[in-house]
């Protein structure tokens, strides 16, 4: 590890999620291609965790192969990164979803970054159209957001939310998976040791249900193709998800990032309930179907489908897949025109923030004055939801 870095990238690249690994690899590639040296910031922590156990993850093995990785800082000491990094860049994923990242304090709001350092959020996500968090957490998040120099969000609806709830200006940019052309992630498939298969549907299913199982069997039979089923990357969930999927003969196990990309890239068709699985389908110009996944956030799916006018590929109910006309092919010439336009705009935004912008730049919207009242309402909604869930639990 070198002594100084141009950019520190923060995010959940260390998690056992293939889509997250792809997201940060793409973002890292874009930033390094801009001539910047990059340090990937390891997991911040409040409570000590099993660091040795984390090192056994495929995501960490991948990271050690491709990045310079910082030590894992306690949130009381993460300020030390100011001594070695000039700019702090939040990646994508649901880093502003309180339910997911509260265990990291306000690290993913860059609360530890000093005033003279640039603070940038690229395509960062709230995971929904609301920001629900308790009083102290929400108000500190507000202060941190208004101290940012550049903010862009992954979901279009969050542009308005940033203005109304935090009183800041935010741009809408592409998820990093779509920021690079297909050769960036596609090259990872060449590192896989899996055997070449042909004539198959690649199914990447995070949350198996009987309805999704039936849909996969129906499509495989209708199209005359085999199935290759990939499940959630968390090892402790694999056995349970495999049982829920109920198609053990088609489920592939012990996948790393290279294998995941390999099966998606070489497939004839993709079926997924994953947002990043959907992004990969678009990136590799695949015919595909996406199932809504409300438990993981449907807003991001719908924002993506709106951008590329692909709602005919999006099914809230897997049983409706029998209405799908597989002869109606996606016109990737038209899709790529939109993708290239969005990619150019997103790259321009990121390059401006990284290369030309300064720590004096402010995201504050001077015309927005009611954001504190709206934040209070949001906080009250959080407590109301907690009381409602607690009451439900008692009734059961």
Cα gap 257→185, rounded to integer Å: 10
> Residue 396's pLDDT band (boundaries 50, 70, 90)?
very low
Q: Is 209 exposed, middle or buried (0-12, 13-18, 19+ CB in 10 A)?
A: middle
Q: Which of 53, 50, 48, 20 is nearest to 40 (CA)?
A: 20
Cα gap 396→387, rounded to integer Å: 14
- Over residues 83-108, the pLDDT tens digits come to 999 999 999 889 999 999 999 999 99
pLDDT at site 393: 55
Average pLDDT over residues 5-21: 97
> Residue 1's pLDDT band (boundaries 50, 70, 90)?
low
Average pLDDT over residues 306-323: 94
Does the pLDDT at position 189 exceed 50? Answer: yes
Helix H, strand E, coil C: the string for 333-383 is HHHHHHHHHHHHHHHHHHHHHHHHCCCCCCCECCCCCCHHHHHHHHHHHHH
* Residue keyed to tokens 């590799």: 284
> Residue 368's pLDDT band (boundaries 50, 70, 90)?
very high
Predicted model pTM: 0.95
Q: Is 356 exposed, middle or buried (0-12, 13-18, 19+ CB in 10 A)?
A: exposed
Does the pLDDT at position 225 exceed 80? Answer: yes
Question: Other CB atoms closer than 10 Å to residue 224's CB: what's the count?
Answer: 7
Question: Other CB atoms closer than 10 Å to residue 169's CB: what's the count?
Answer: 19
Does the pLDDT at position 221 exceed 70? Answer: yes
> Residue 394's pLDDT band (boundaries 50, 70, 90)?
low
- Over residues 119-161, the pLDDT tens digits come to 999 999 998 889 999 999 999 999 999 999 999 999 999 999 9
Q: Which of 197, 338, 342, 223 is nearest to 289 (CA)?
A: 223
Helix (H) or strand (E) holding 186: helix 182-186
Does the pLDDT at position 232 exceed 60? Answer: yes
> Residue 30's pLDDT band (boundaries 50, 70, 90)?
very high
Cα gap 132→138, rounded to integer Å: 8
Average pLDDT over residues 249-259: 96
Cα gap 330→1, rounded to integer Å: 45
Does the pLDDT at position 2 exceed 90? Answer: no
pLDDT at site 87: 98
- Which string of DSSP letters, residue by residue, matches 113-124? --TTSEEEEEEE
For the chain, what is the mean pLDDT? Answer: 95
- Over residues 323-344, the pLDDT tens digits come to 999 889 999 999 999 999 999 9
- Report the interhelical angle of 257-265 vs 275-283 (nearest 10°): 50
Report helix, strand or coil for 72: coil
Q: 45: which 2 tokens?
A: 């922590």
Pairing of strands 200-205, 171-172: unpaired
H helices within 10-97, ranges in order? 18-33, 51-55, 58-66
Angle at 23 between CA 20 and CA 25, to 5 degrees: 110
Q: 366: which 2 tokens?
A: 């001077």
Q: Which of 108, 90, 285 is nearest to 182 (CA)?
A: 285
Name the phi and psi angles at 151, rounded to 5: -135, 130
């Amino acid at each position: 590890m070198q002594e100084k870095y141009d950019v520190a990238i923060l995010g959940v690249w260390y998690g056992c999620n293939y889509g997250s690994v792809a997201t940060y690899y793409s973002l890292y590639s874009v930033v390094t291609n801009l001539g910047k040296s990059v340090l990937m910031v390891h997991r911040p922590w409040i409570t000590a965790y099993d660091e040795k156990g984390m090192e056994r993850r495929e995501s960490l093995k991948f990271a050690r192969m491709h990045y310079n990785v910082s030590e894992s800082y306690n949130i009381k000491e993460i300020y030390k990164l100011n001594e070695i990094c000039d700019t702090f860049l939040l990646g994508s994923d649901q880093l502003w979803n309180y339910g997911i990242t509260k265990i990291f304090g306000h690290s993913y709001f860059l609360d530890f970054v000093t005033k003279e350092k640039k603070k940038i959020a690229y395509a960062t996500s709230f995971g929904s159209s609301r920001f629900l968090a308790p009083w102290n957490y929400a108000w500190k998040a507000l202060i941190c957001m208004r101290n940012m120099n550049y903010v862009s969000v992954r979901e279009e609806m969050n542009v308005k939310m940033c203005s109304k709830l935090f009183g800041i200006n935010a741009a809408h940019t592409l998820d990093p998976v779509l920021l690079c052309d297909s050769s960036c992630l596609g090259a990872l498939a060449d590192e896989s040791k899996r055997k070449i298969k042909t004539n198959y549907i690649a199914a990447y299913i995070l949350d198996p249900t009987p309805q999704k199982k039936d849909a996969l069997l129906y499509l495989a039979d209708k199209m005359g193709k085999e199935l290759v089923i990939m499940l959630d990357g968390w090892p402790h969930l694999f056995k349970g998800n495999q049982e829920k999927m109920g198609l053990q003969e088609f489920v592939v196990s012990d996948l790393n990032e290279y294998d995941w990309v390999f099966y998606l890239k070489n497939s004839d068709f993709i079926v997924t309930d994953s947002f990043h699985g959907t992004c990969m389908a678009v990136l590799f110009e695949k015919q595909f179907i996406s199932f809504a996944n409300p438990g993981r956030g449907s807003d991001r799916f719908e924002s993506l489908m709106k951008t590329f006018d692909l709602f005919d590929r999006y099914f809230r109910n897997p049983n409706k897949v029998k209405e799908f006309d597989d002869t109606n092919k996606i016109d990737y010439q038209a899709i790529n025109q939109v993708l290239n336009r969005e990619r150019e705009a997103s790259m321009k935004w990121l390059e401006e923030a990284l290369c030309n912008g300064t720590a004096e730049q402010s995201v504050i919207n001077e015309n927005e004055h009611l954001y504190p009242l709206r934040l209070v309402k949001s906080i009250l909604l959080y407590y109301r939801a907690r009381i409602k869930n607690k009451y439900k639990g008692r009734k059961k």
